[in-house]
């Protein structure tokens, strides 16, 4: 068996060099005579690792000291509940811009704790409503967006401007894919299992003044401020996920950091969208070209009956996990940082060949 080009939306492909390093030191890590999974998170070796992970993440994203970096658990989904609990008073307003499945889910979950308002809703998730049309509240605790809709393939290319409240963004499927200006956000959060590492870890970057908000009655374990005060070690963190994330951060720095990675990702996405748009209608991506995702490319074949054959033949050709999410059907290629340009080229070659045989 050889490893396939893996287009999974998440858990997703990890850089092969990272997996090889993890394999090489799985039984005996860093001179501690045990694997990294088998030692205390309170020991000097693991504490040093966690500090290195935070240092490298800060370096990659140029995160200033005005922000705390947290390594949490519970997935991005748990943050849909913890955000309102930590940032808003009970029943206070929180504005949401809905551009797809995940931002819709965030509003629904926040509704248990706040007056979760929809400031704008794209309706059909192929575009982002124009900023002047957003109906933002003067009294909102924050404005929530999903930076990149993993299922619908709609991505904010930048942080929206002129907001009356701090911007909170779900970066699950796009963090570390290109440089961003962290200072434009109040809080950034991301489940790890796309561009960061294995599932079980959530990375959060939060402006420290927001940690001073009273929020709502909650246990310490649900408090971002408590987590920040305890360096995310209020309880046992996801140690193996943090270890792998640390290897991924080091790998990204070796690749030249996010400027270099962003250029590569722009080339990958550009080539794939060009192949879809240039197929004469055989393949189609419905998203407004101005907001197409660099990471998740959903597309359909003009004849629905061909999807099953495409998936089976692609899989046999070493191109795996191209099935679209059931909410939209069709196909989806997730082309995160670990997908090499050669993988995207192989997919494009297969698509041309498939069209020639079935067009
Ligand atoms: N937000 C986005 C943008 C996602 O892509 C996902 C998962 N695919 C989630 C939230 C939910 O993440 P989790 O399963 O880690 O809770």
- Tens-place pLDDT, residues 247-279: 999 999 999 999 999 999 999 999 999 999 999
Could you say which of 29, 56, 194, 268 is catalytic? 194
Where do the DSSP E strands lie in the chain?
5-6, 67-72, 93-98, 115-121, 143-146, 148-149, 154-155, 167-170, 187-191, 202-207, 283-284, 296-301, 319-320, 331-334
Q: Is 251 annotated as a binding residue?
A: no
- Tens-place pLDDT, residues 118-150: 999 999 999 999 999 999 999 999 999 999 999
Q: Has residue 1 got a pLDDT over 70?
A: no
pLDDT of residue 232: 97
Q: Is the ipTM of this complex over 0.90?
A: yes
pLDDT of residue 26: 97
Q: Whose CA is nearest to atom 15 of ligand 1?
A: 75
pLDDT of residue 2: 87
DSSP states along 248-298: HHHHHHHTTHHHHHHHHHHHHHHHHHHHHHTTTTSEE--S-GGGB-SSEEE
Closest ligand 1 atom to 171 CA:
3
Q: Is 326 a catalytic residue?
A: no
The whole-number average pLDDT for the span 309-327 is 97
- Tens-place pLDDT, residues 147-197: 999 999 999 999 999 999 999 999 999 999 999 999 999 999 999 999 999
Q: At what angle do helices 239-254 and 257-277 cross, to 10 degrees?
A: 90
Q: Is 42 annotated as a binding residue?
A: yes
Return the residue matching tokens 């000291």. 65
Q: Give the C-alpha separation, 327 to 331, whole Å.
A: 11
Q: Is 170 a catalytic residue?
A: yes
Mutate to test the pocket of ligand 1, among 11, 72, 76 (most ligand atoms within 8 A of CB): 76
Q: Is 294 annotated as a binding residue?
A: no
Q: Is 146 in the pocket of ligand 1 (CB under 6 A)?
A: yes
Q: Is 134 a catalytic residue?
A: no
The whole-number average pLDDT for the span 306-319 is 98
Q: Is 74 in the pocket of ligand 1 (CB under 6 A)?
A: no
Write the burial class of residue 204 (CB in 10 Å: 0-12 exposed, 13-18 middle, 19+ buried). Answer: buried
How far is the centre of ligand 1, averaged over its atoms, from the C-alpha of 77 (Å)? Answer: 6
Strand pairing category for 202-207 and 167-170:
unpaired
- Tens-place pLDDT, residues 65-104: 999 999 999 999 999 999 999 999 999 999 999 999 999 9
- Tens-place pLDDT, residues 208-239: 999 999 999 999 999 999 999 999 999 999 99
């Amino acid at each position: 068996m050889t490893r396939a080009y893996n287009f999974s939306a998440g858990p997703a492909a990890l850089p092969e060099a990272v997996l090889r390093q993890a394999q090489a030191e799985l039984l005996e890590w860093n001179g501690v005579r045990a694997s990294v999974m088998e030692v205390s998170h309170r020991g000097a070796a693991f504490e040093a690792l966690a500090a290195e992970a935070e240092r490298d993440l800060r370096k990659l994203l140029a995160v200033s000291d005005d922000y705390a970096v947290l390594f949490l658990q519970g997935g991005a989904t748990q943050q849909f509940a913890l955000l309102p609990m930590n940032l808003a008073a009970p029943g206070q307003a929180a504005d949401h811009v809905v551009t797809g499945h995940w931002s819709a889910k965030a509003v629904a979950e926040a509704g248990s704790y706040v007056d979760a308002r929809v400031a704008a809703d794209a309706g059909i998730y192929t575009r982002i409503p124009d900023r002047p049309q957003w109906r933002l509240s003067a009294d909102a605790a924050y404005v929530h967006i999903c930076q990149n809709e993993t299922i619908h393939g709609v991505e904010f290319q930048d942080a929206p401007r002129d907001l009356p409240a701090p911007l909170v963004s779900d970066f699950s499927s796009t963090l570390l894919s290109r440089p961003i200006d962290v200072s434009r956000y109040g809080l950034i959060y991301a489940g790890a299992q796309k561009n960061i590492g294995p599932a079980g870890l959530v990375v959060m970057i939060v402006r420290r003044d927001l940690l001073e908000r009273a929020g709502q009655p909650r246990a310490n374990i649900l408090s971002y401020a408590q987590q920040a005060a305890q360096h995310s070690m209020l309880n046992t963190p996801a140690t193996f996920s943090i270890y792998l994330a640390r290897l991924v951060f080091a790998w990204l720095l070796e690749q030249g950091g996010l400027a270099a990675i962003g250029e590569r990702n722009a080339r990958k996405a550009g080539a794939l969208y060009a192949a879809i748009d240039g197929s004469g209608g055989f393949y189609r991506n419905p998203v407004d070209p101005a907001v197409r995702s660099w990471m998740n490319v959903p597309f359909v074949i003009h004849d629905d009956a061909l999807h099953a054959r495409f998936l089976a033949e692609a899989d046999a050709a070493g191109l795996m996990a191209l099935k679209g999410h059931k909410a939209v059907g069709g196909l989806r290629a997730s082309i995160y940082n670990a997908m090499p340009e050669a993988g995207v080229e192989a997919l494009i070659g297969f698509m041309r060949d498939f069209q020639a045989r079935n067009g």
